[in-house]
């Protein structure tokens, strides 16, 4: 057998032409297409994967008691910024599905959309355990850190960790979502990320 | 039927056109659709490693998010197997609509997908970690040999409908894709023990460890001991034996975006198998039959003797019957002194039962190496190499072969811009066989080889005692195959994805072929997805079907020897040959599908198909025949989470097939399955499974066996403790003490009893 001297059998029979024609007929109904909305699907998929990562990350984080609310109070997770991709709802859904708690405490998930107004400042000063900067957040990381220095800071993009000294960020490269983690997140006492995550080289890049 | 197919397709095109003509909706919302909620539930079960491998942009083919997949895909997870009280992976196929899973004797499992096989030949492609496991010699799959321990199983994807444009030849009715876990996900030790009340035992042990930060390994062993069951007549099935396996896997990250995997396995199985000899020695009943006239019968008829074939075209009766009737000219026992004595009667036809058991050892080993990665420009690629040695002896037939196979496979896919995705690949295979045949003891008596007599006219030279049942002779034993595929997918909008492609193959076995495929999916809204597909898929005829001469019976010539009848009073061999001219079976397949999630708790899926197959090979005496087969059917499945503690799944499938215009009755028209998992407490689940299978007939040249419809009820409890114990207790087939399901037609004497069993499973991870 040799590929190059073989002869492919008759290929385009009338039946196949009929089939192809049929599919093009089916296609004709689709033109023009709304290609802009296609990216939305990808963004929502990113949001779902990130929300799942966040769920796992919280499970792998340990807080010392002084950094947690009272036993009868809820632990707080604050999301900052506009959310057009369903991240907040995805995370809420995952948290409810997994009955997520932080050290036995129920969760309160707070979404602050736009400005660092008095209400936002109040919420941020109540020692939230996790602060997540959404992709379209206008909040300034340094401002938030001043208000809540003992929160686990999670955001988007490499600069969030490298430039702004955040704890964890998501990056989107090579068609995958990966994590960039600040080295100090493993070494400090609270909030402290489990060192087992640091061994996942394909998942995690540790910097600083 | 051709008109029906065309109408079906035209209807689809018009339907699709009307849908696509609608305004495309905006889905920019913080609200989650039911599909998205279900997808989140799936993601929640993934660990960091799996999440890091989840593509952001939709990947072509069957790897994209399940709910967007324009195909009927059913994914079986390990818990689906353990929670339903299944022992082997193949058992869990009973929970998949469109899959017809049956058991013969204790170690024989048969699987048919979408009504396409009256025989044991598998007409779909099965892969384990990318390695094709179809046995090319007989066209079968040994499900025991290819099974893996449950704790290393990641998932089984069952893709109904042809997928030849990606998977290639033999992906005719569909694809079964078995994927094992990365060894980093099987760290520590795990044990699984299953004991059935009939004595059947399965034990698995898996150990995983870490060599360095970026390299992991696992090793595993498995033992399965079969107890002896019964045949439907009540006779012992002689199906006791064992199957043992061992395997390993090593995974290493070669860089942040490159992985290396090296894995292997060894399997050995020792069982006996029967050869039905009841109608292999024959006496002619037609006085005027051209080749074997019987002068002792009235010239105007068969003397009241009924032919053994149901179609009246095989005018013979077993010699045992002729002897019992003291018919004239029957041979003395000295003429076939090696023939076993009868033991009872075969029901319902009542002829003497004569069988012959021999050993059927099988040993197989394989090695697999794979390097995969992703480049800066998002080209995902993998190169895999496989080497396999498979050694089997079908002692009951006297046929054995050793197969050596080497495969090299390259696959890649890449997003192009924001809306297009390209997948492509190429593969090369080299396969060689060492085939041997021996004459089993019953057949070791002088018999005329008519091909020798035709050339020599010398009776003495023509009398042989070494005619095997299967004779491969000098047929080709080395085969090569080159293949390539390309598939392009484009997001025409958020709602519409269109993909088309083709696989090109050139092989020593079946020449060159192009197998095109086209799929289109349309998301009507957040809750409904429709898809349509056309593809052409080929299946190679097996080596037996192409190259082997089958000596299936010997016929006694009752007349005295004389000048006009030189073969009088001799046994005359009767055989038929496979044909290397057997073209690939070519299937044109049309499919329409609809998947809907009216809520995040309920998933419904409907798929309709029509297959038209040319040159489908059907085996069985007196010849291998090719037929045109048309199959039409559909499947309706659902998945309903009634509450946090109650999960229901089920499906119904209907199909009807026609072979050369005649309705097939070897496949049940209707099948249904329903399983309920109810959590009595967080750690205690009550399981109910119900399976219905319609009636059918096991085809046979002389004794077709009707299989009544049967309803199977399984009940069980699974208790999961906090310290990683899982203990399950199941009662299976509770409505019926036993029922028959299947057998190798024209080879086995009768089906085994699939009996009610009670099963205890214990799993521990530590």
pLDDT reading at B746 higher than 90: no
Assess if residue A21 is contained within a domain: no
pLDDT reading at B372 higher than 60: yes
Contact: B418, A203; criterion CB under 8 Å: no
Distance CA B245, CA B267 (A): 4
The domain of A189 spans: 40-207
Are the CB atoms for B274 and B343 separated by under 8 Å?
no
Q: Which of A61-65, B491-495, B538-542, B728-732 has the lowest mean pLDDT?
A: B538-542
Mean pLDDT on B163-172:
66
**Which DSSP letter does residue A42 get?**
H
Count of Cβ atoms closer than 10 Å to residue B655 Cβ:
23
**CATH code of the domain containing A117:** 3.40.50.2300
Give residue B23's pLDDT band: very low, low, confident or very high (50, 70, 90). Answer: very low
Which residues from B are below 8 Å from A46, CB to CB? Answer: 56
pLDDT reading at B9 higher than 50: no
Q: Which of B47-51, B115-119, B517-521 has the lowest mean pLDDT?
A: B115-119
Are the CB atoms for B565 and B294 separated by under 8 Å?
no
Which residues from B are below 8 Å from A55, CB to CB? Answer: 44
Mean pLDDT on A96-123:
88
Residue to test with chain A: of B18, B54, B499, B533, most A Cβ within 10 A: B54
Assess if residue A9 is contained within a domain: no
In order of A123, B652, B669, B696, B740, the CA distances from B709 in angstroms are: 66, 15, 10, 8, 10
| Coil vs helix vs strand at B604 | strand
**Residues with Cβ < 8 Å from B443, sequence gap 6 or more?**
B338, B398, B467, B468, B469, B554
Q: How far is A51 from chain B (nearest CA, A)?
A: 9
Give residue B428's pLDDT band: very low, low, confident or very high (50, 70, 90). Answer: very high
Whether the CB of B536 is below 8 Å from some CB of chain A: the reply is yes
pLDDT reading at B8 higher than 80: no
Identify which of A52, A83, A84 has the shortest CB distance to residue B51. Answer: A52
**Can the peptide bond before residue A32 be classed as cis, meaning omega within 30 degrees of 0?**
yes
* Number of domains into which chain A is organized: 1
The region, left, alpha or beta by phi > 0 then psi within -120 to 50, assigned to residue A175 is: left
Distance CA B281, CA A67 (A): 88
Which residues from B are below 8 Å from A33, CB to CB? Answer: 24, 492-493, 496
Mean pLDDT on B406-418:
90
| Coil vs helix vs strand at B650 | strand
Q: B24: nearest CA in chain A?
A: A34
pLDDT score recorded for residue A33: 43
Q: How far is B311 from chain A (nearest CA, A)?
A: 35
Residue to test with chain A: of B6, B51, B259, B503, most A Cβ within 10 A: B51
pLDDT score recorded for residue B169: 64
Q: What is the CA radius of gyration of chain B?
A: 28
Are the CB atoms for B405 and B388 separated by under 8 Å?
yes
Mean per-residue pLDDT over chain A, rounded:
81
Contact: A26, B532; criterion CB under 8 Å: yes
Contact: B534, A19; criterion CB under 8 Å: yes
Per-residue b/e over B42-72, b at no fewer than 16 CB within 10 Å? ebeebebebbbbbbbbbbbbbbbbbbbbbbb
pLDDT reading at A31 higher than 50: no
pLDDT reading at A103 higher than 80: yes
Which residues from A are below 8 Å from B592, CB to CB? Answer: none
Mean pLDDT on B226-238:
92
Contact: B40, A93; criterion CB under 8 Å: yes
pLDDT (tens digit, 9 = 90+) per residue, B37-59? 888 988 998 888 888 888 876 55
**Can the peptide bond before residue B376 be classed as cis, meaning omega within 30 degrees of 0?**
no
Whether the CB of A61 is below 8 Å from some CB of chain B: the reply is no
Are the CB atoms for B439 and B447 separated by under 8 Å?
no
Identify which of B10, B18, B30 has the shortest CB distance to residue A83. Answer: B30
B63 or B619, which is more confident? B619
pLDDT score recorded for residue B11: 46
Mean pLDDT on B244-273:
93
Which residues from B are below 8 Å from A195, CB to CB? Answer: none
Backbone angles phi and psi of A53, in degrees to 5: -55, -50
**Residues with Cβ < 8 Å from A138, sequence gap 6 or more?**
A81, A114, A115
Helices (H), B386-431: none
Whether the CB of B260 is below 8 Å from some CB of chain A: the reply is no
Whether the CB of A203 is below 8 Å from some CB of chain B: the reply is yes
Sign of CA dihedral B165, B169, B172, B174: negative
Size of interface A-B (CB pairs under 8 A): 204
Whether the CB of A83 is below 8 Å from some CB of chain B: the reply is yes
Mean pLDDT on B108-119:
75
Contact: A26, B13; criterion CB under 8 Å: yes
B21 or B476, which is more confident? B476
pLDDT reading at B338 higher than 80: yes
Tallying the residues shown for chain B, one arrives at: 766
pLDDT score recorded for residue B112: 87
pLDDT reading at B302 higher than 60: yes
Contact: B536, A3; criterion CB under 8 Å: no
Helices (H), B496-643: 543-547
In B230-257, beta strands by DSSP E? 241-255
Assess if residue A126 is contained within a domain: yes
Q: Which residue has the tokens 């399981």?
A: B687
Assess if residue A17 is contained within a domain: no
Are the CB atoms for B174 and B158 separated by under 8 Å?
yes
Q: Which residue has the tokens 């299944």?
A: B86
Distance CA B54, CA A174 (A): 11
In the sheet that holds B153-160, the strands lie side by side as B72-76, B153-160, B174-180, B125-128, B131-132
pLDDT score recorded for residue A79: 94
Distance CA A149, CA A208 (A): 18
| Coil vs helix vs strand at A37 | helix
Are the CB atoms for B678 and B653 separated by under 8 Å?
no
Whether the CB of B11 is below 8 Å from some CB of chain A: the reply is no
Name the percent of chain B lying above pLDDT 90: 51
Q: How far is A135 from chain B (nearest CA, A)?
A: 14
| Coil vs helix vs strand at B492 | coil
Backbone angles phi and psi of B134, in degrees to 5: -70, 130
Q: How far is B426 from chain A (nearest CA, A)?
A: 13
Q: Which residue has the tokens 């193959």?
A: B505
Mean pLDDT on A188-201:
87
Whether the CB of B736 is below 8 Å from some CB of chain A: the reply is no
Are the CB atoms for B114 and B174 separated by under 8 Å?
yes
Mean pLDDT on B169-182:
84
Assess if residue A20 is contained within a domain: no
Distance CA B322, CA B368 (A): 56
Assess if residue A23 is contained within a domain: no
Whether the CB of A66 is below 8 Å from some CB of chain B: the reply is no
- Token readout for B148 is 């893996």
pLDDT score recorded for residue B363: 95
Mean pLDDT on B425-430:
94
Q: Which of A19-33, A153-167, B103-117, B690-704 has the lowest mean pLDDT?
A: A19-33
Q: B526: nearest CA in chain A?
A: A41
The region, left, alpha or beta by phi > 0 then psi within -120 to 50, assigned to residue B63 is: alpha
Which residues from B are below 8 Å from A202, CB to CB? Answer: 49, 52-53, 253, 256-257, 259
pLDDT reading at A49 higher than 90: yes
pLDDT score recorded for residue B305: 66
pLDDT (tens digit, 9 = 90+) per residue, B380-403? 999 999 999 999 999 999 999 999
pLDDT score recorded for residue A35: 46
**Residues with Cβ < 8 Å from B152, sequence gap 6 or more?**
B180, B181, B186, B206, B218, B220, B249
Q: Which of A167-181, B19-33, B263-277, B665-679 has the lowest mean pLDDT?
A: B19-33
Mean pLDDT on B149-160:
93
pLDDT score recorded for residue B495: 83
- Token readout for B504 is 């090109």
Residue B745 CA, chain-centre distance (Å), reads 15
In order of B185, B403, B585, the CA distances from B547 in angstroms are: 45, 16, 16
- Token readout for B509 is 């076995």
pLDDT reading at B25 higher than 70: no
Mean pLDDT on B701-728:
92
Max mean pLDDT among A113-127, B167-181, B734-748 falls in: B734-748
Which residues from B are below 8 Å from A172, CB to CB? Answer: 56
Distance CA B268, CA B144 (A): 10
What was the ipTM of the complex prediction? 0.84
pLDDT reading at A27 higher than 80: no
Contact: B482, A3; criterion CB under 8 Å: yes
Contact: A22, B9; criterion CB under 8 Å: yes
Mean per-residue pLDDT over chain B, rounded:
86
Are the CB atoms for B670 and B681 separated by under 8 Å?
no
pLDDT reading at A9 higher than 50: no
Distance CA B249, CA B102 (A): 31
pLDDT score recorded for residue B62: 43
Contact: A35, B512; criterion CB under 8 Å: no
- Token readout for B326 is 């003291």
pLDDT score recorded for residue B2: 47
Are the CB atoms for B594 and B631 separated by under 8 Å?
no
Give residue A5's pLDDT band: very low, low, confident or very high (50, 70, 90). Answer: very low
pLDDT score recorded for residue A127: 87
Give CATH for domain B2-84+93-169+192-276+358-442+473-548+578-765: 2.40.170.20
Report which of B174, B10, B697 is spatially closest to residue A25, judged by C-alpha positions. B10
pLDDT score recorded for residue B386: 97
pLDDT reading at A8 higher than 50: no
Helices (H), B271-409: 319-324
Mean pLDDT on B466-477:
89
Are the CB atoms for B615 and B585 separated by under 8 Å?
yes
B61 or B629, which is more confident? B629
Q: B522: nearest CA in chain A?
A: A30
Are the CB atoms for B329 and B319 separated by under 8 Å?
no
Distance CA A33, CA A130 (A): 41
Put simply, the chain B residues between 163 and 222 with a CB less than 8 A from any chain A CB are: 213-214
Strands B188-196 and B201-212: antiparallel
Whether the CB of B40 is below 8 Å from some CB of chain A: the reply is yes
Q: B33: nearest CA in chain A?
A: A86
Q: How far is B52 from chain A (nearest CA, A)?
A: 5
Are the CB atoms for B62 and B157 separated by under 8 Å?
yes
Are the CB atoms for B495 and B523 separated by under 8 Å?
yes
Which residues from A are below 8 Å from B39, CB to CB? Answer: 48
pLDDT (tens digit, 9 = 90+) per residue, B532-542? 999 888 777 77
Whether the CB of A27 is below 8 Å from some CB of chain B: the reply is yes
Put simply, the chain B residues between 464 and 493 with a CB less than 8 A from any chain A CB are: 479-482, 491-493
pLDDT score recorded for residue A21: 45
Put simply, the chain A residues between 102 and 141 with a CB less than 8 A from any chain B CB are: none
């Amino acid at each position: 057998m040799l590929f190059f001297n073989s002869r492919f059998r008759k290929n385009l029979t009338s039946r196949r032409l009929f089939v192809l024609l049929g599919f093009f007929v089916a296609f004709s109904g689709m033109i023009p297409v709304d290609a802009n909305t296609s990216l939305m699907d990808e963004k929502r998929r990113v949001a779902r994967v990130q929300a799942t990562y966040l769920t796992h990350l919280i499970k792998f984080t340990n807080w010392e008691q002084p950094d947690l609310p009272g036993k009868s109070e809820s632990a707080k997770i604050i999301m900052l910024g506009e959310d057009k991709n369903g991240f907040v709802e995805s995370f809420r859904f995952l948290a409810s599905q997994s009955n997520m708690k932080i050290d036995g405490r129920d969760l309160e998930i707070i979404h602050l959309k736009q400005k660092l107004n008095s209400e936002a400042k109040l919420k941020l000063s109540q020692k939230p355990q996790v602060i997540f900067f959404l992709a379209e957040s206008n909040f300034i990381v340094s401002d938030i850190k001043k208000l809540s220095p003992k929160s686990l800071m999670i955001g988007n993009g490499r600069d969030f960790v490298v430039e702004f000294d955040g704890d964890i960020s998501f990056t989107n490269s090579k068609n995958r979502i990966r994590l960039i983690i600040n080295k100090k997140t493993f070494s400090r006492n609270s909030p402290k990320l489990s060192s087992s995550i640091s061994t996942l080289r394909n998942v995690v890049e540790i910097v600083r | 039927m051709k008109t029906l197919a065309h109408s079906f397709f035209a209807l689809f095109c018009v339907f699709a056109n009307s849908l696509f003509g609608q305004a495309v909706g905006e889905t920019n919302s913080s609200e989650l659709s039911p599909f998205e909620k279900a997808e989140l539930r799936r993601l929640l079960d993934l660990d960091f490693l799996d999440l890091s491998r989840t593509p952001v942009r939709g990947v072509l083919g069957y790897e994209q998010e399940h709910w967007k997949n324009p195909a009927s895909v059913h994914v079986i997870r390990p818990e689906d197997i353990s929670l339903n009280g299944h022992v082997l992976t193949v058992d869990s196929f009973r929970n998949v609509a469109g899959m017809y899973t049956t058991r013969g004797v204790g170690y024989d499992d048969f699987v048919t997908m979408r009504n396409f096989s009256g025989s044991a030949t598998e007409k779909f492609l099965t892969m384990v970690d990318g390695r094709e496991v179809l046995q090319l010699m007989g066209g079968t799959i040994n499900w025991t040999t290819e099974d893996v321990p449950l704790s290393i199983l990641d998932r089984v994807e069952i893709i109904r409908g042809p997928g030849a444009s990606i998977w290639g030849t033999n992906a005719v009715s569909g694809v079964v894709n078995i994927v094992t876990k990365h060894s980093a996900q099987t760290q520590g030790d795990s044990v699984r023990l299953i004991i059935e009340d009939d004595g059947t035992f399965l034990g698995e042990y898996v150990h995983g460890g870490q060599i360095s930060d970026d390299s992991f390994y696992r090793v595993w062993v498995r033992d399965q001991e079969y107890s002896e069951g019964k045949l439907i007549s009540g006779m012992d099935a002689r199906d006791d034996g064992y199957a043992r396996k061992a395997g390993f896997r090593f995974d290493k990250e070669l860089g942040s975006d490159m992985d290396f995997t090296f894995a292997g396995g060894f399997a050995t199985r020792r069982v006996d198998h029967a050869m039905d000899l009841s109608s292999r020695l024959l006496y002619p009943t037609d006085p005027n039959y051209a080749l074997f006239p019987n002068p002792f019968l009235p010239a105007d008829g068969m003397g009241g003797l009924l032919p053994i074939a149901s179609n009246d075209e095989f005018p013979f009766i077993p010699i045992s019957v002729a002897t019992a009737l003291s018919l004239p000219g029957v041979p003395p026992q000295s003429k076939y002194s090696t023939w076993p004595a009868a033991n009872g009667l075969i029901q319902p036809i009542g002829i003497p039962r004569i069988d012959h058991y021999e050993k059927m050892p099988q040993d197989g080993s394989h090695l697999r190496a794979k390097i995969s990665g992703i480049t800066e420009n998002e080209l995902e690629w993998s190169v895999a190499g496989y080497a396999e040695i498979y050694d089997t002896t079908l002692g009951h037939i006297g046929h054995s072969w050793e197969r050596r196979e080497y495969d090299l496979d390259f696959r890649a896919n890449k997003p192009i811009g924001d809306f297009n995705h390209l997948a492509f690949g190429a593969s090369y295979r080299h396969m060689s066989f060492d085939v041997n045949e021996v004459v089993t003891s019953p057949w070791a008596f002088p018999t005329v080889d008519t091909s020798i007599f035709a050339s020599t006219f010398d009776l003495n030279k023509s009398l042989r005692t070494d005619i095997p049942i299967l004779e491969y002779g000098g047929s080709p034993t080395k085969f090569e195959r080159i293949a390539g595929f390309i598939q392009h997918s484009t997001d025409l909008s958020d709602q519409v994805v269109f993909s088309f492609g083709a696989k090109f193959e050139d092989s020593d076995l079946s020449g060159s072929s192009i197998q095109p495929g086209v799929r289109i999916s349309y998301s009507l809204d957040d809750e409904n997805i429709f898809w349509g597909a056309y593809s052409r898929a080929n299946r190679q005829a097996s080596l037996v079907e192409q190259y082997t001469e089958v000596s299936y019976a010997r016929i006694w010539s009752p007349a005295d020897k004389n000048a006009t009848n030189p073969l009088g009073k001799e046994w005359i061999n009767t055989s038929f040959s496979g044909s290397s001219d057997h073209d690939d079976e070519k299937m044109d397949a049309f499919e329409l599908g609809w998947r809907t999630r009216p809520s995040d708790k309920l998933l419904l899926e409907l798929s309709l198909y029509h297959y038209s197959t040319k040159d489908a090979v059907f085996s069985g005496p007196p010849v291998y025949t090719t037929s045109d087969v048309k199959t039409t059917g559909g499947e309706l499945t659902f998945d309903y989470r009634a509450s946090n503690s109650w999960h229901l799944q089920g499906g119904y499938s209907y199909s009807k097939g026609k072979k050369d215009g005649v309705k097939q009755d070897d496949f049940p028209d209707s099948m249904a399955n329903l399983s309920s998992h109810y959590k009595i407490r967080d750690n205690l689940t009550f399981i109910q499974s119900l399976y219905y299978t319609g009636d059918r007939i096991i085809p046979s040249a002389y004794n077709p066996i009707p299989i009544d419809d049967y309803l199977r009820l399984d009940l069980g409890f699974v208790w999961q403790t906090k310290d990683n114990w899982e203990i399950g207790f199941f009662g299976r087939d509770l409505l019926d003490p036993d029922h028959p399901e299947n057998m190798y037609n024209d080879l086995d004497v009768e089906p085994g009893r699939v009996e009610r069993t009670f099963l205890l499973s214990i799993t521990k991870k530590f």
